[in-house]
Amino acid sequence: MNKVSISTGCLPRLESRPFYELSSATRMMKRFLKESVADGFEFVLFPEWDSGNSPLTPSDAPSDCERHTIEEIAEALEGKGFPILSVHANRDIGNYLCSEDAEKVSKGIRLVDECLRFTRKVGSRICVFHLWDTWKETIDLAHLQTVYKRFQKANPDIAFSVENVPTRIKGMTPFQLVKSFQHKTLDLKWASLFNEFDAFAKIVGQVDNVHVQGKYEDGAVVPTVGVLKYERVLDRIKEAGYKGIFTIELEGKASYGEMLKCVAKLRESLK
């Protein structure tokens, strides 16, 4: 059976704490692990934790929010027995790599390396990336492919998995961008927004991780954009022979009990 994972990005909010509070995330991970409801977690590396730069992407965090080095984060997880099924790399990486500023591009490349090393250190084999700037109307796709091939070749034991995040490039869609990369993460919310699930269903064997992102409604996760019916597409993904991870990403307000219901509902649908 497919493994069910929970994104740590939403865990602090389940106890009304700021999303970037690392101690809350690990506390909630311990609680879910004790309940044995999920198989593990997707650990999110927030750009808000970066002491060198403020986030390039929109953020609700105050400028003086807590900061952590990658070593401190790894230390907070060490010895806790947390099954980290995947890591979500710093979401600003695509913005750095697509910058016209050479120093920012260099930082983006350093962050790619840092996130892949972190993934190995915490015992995971999948690292999810937002590889392009979602606001730009033009990007150097060849450059991104070169960076990708370099790091995937250097890290053959880790899936450098590119997520189908939105794009504003004229004549291009997330599917058209992501299909040229070896490893892919399918976010159902973005597939719903761009009406691209059918395209992804044809290449589900190339997908490492399915993000079930949305809001809580009647015991399940539903998309906040588009008209995709998650229950139906989960059946299609199963029928296509998908063997990877399903990761729940709850948006907005939700309680611990509601997350438990979401996990249980997803597990039931995968039987």
pLDDT at 218 over 90: no
Cα–Cα distance, 220 to 216 (Å, whole number): 6
What global pTM score does this model have? 0.97
Q: Please report which residue ranges of 98-224 form alpha helices under DSSP H.
A: 102-121, 141-154, 174-178, 188-193, 197-201
**Mean per-residue pLDDT for 182-209?**
97
φ/ψ of residue 155, rounded to 5: -130, 65
Of 19-23, 181-185, 206-210, 216-220, where does mean pLDDT reach its minimum? 216-220
Residue 231's pLDDT is 87
Q: What are the boundaries of each domain within the chain?
A: 3-269
Q: Are 270 and 39 in contact (CB under 8 A)?
A: no
Exposed, middle or buried: residue 1 (CB in 10 Å: 0-12, 13-18, 19+)?
exposed
Pairing verdict, β 220-222 and 40-44 = unpaired
pLDDT in tens, 22-41: 999 999 999 999 988 899 99
Residue 1's pLDDT is 79
Structure-model confidence comparison of residues 36 and 49, the more confident one: 49
**Mean per-residue pLDDT for 153-160?**
98
**Average model confidence (pLDDT) for the chain?**
96
Q: Which residues lie across from 86 on neighbouring strands?
A: 42
Q: According to CATH, what is the number of the domain 3-269? A: 3.20.20.150
* Start-to-end C-alpha separation, the chain: 7
**Mean per-residue pLDDT for 54-80?**
95
Residue 51's pLDDT is 87
Q: Among candidates 155, 143, 59, 48, which has minimal Cα distance to 94?
A: 143
Instruction: Annotate 163-178 with DSSP letters as a single string.
Output: E------TT--HHHHH
pLDDT at 158 over 90: yes
Cα–Cα distance, 216 to 152 (Å, whole number): 35
Confidence of residue 136 (pLDDT cuts 50, 70, 90): very high
pLDDT at 165 over 90: yes
Residue 57's pLDDT is 96
DSSP state of 82: -
Residues 6+ away with beta carbon under 8 Å from 170:
137
Q: Are 188 and 213 in contact (CB under 8 A)?
A: yes
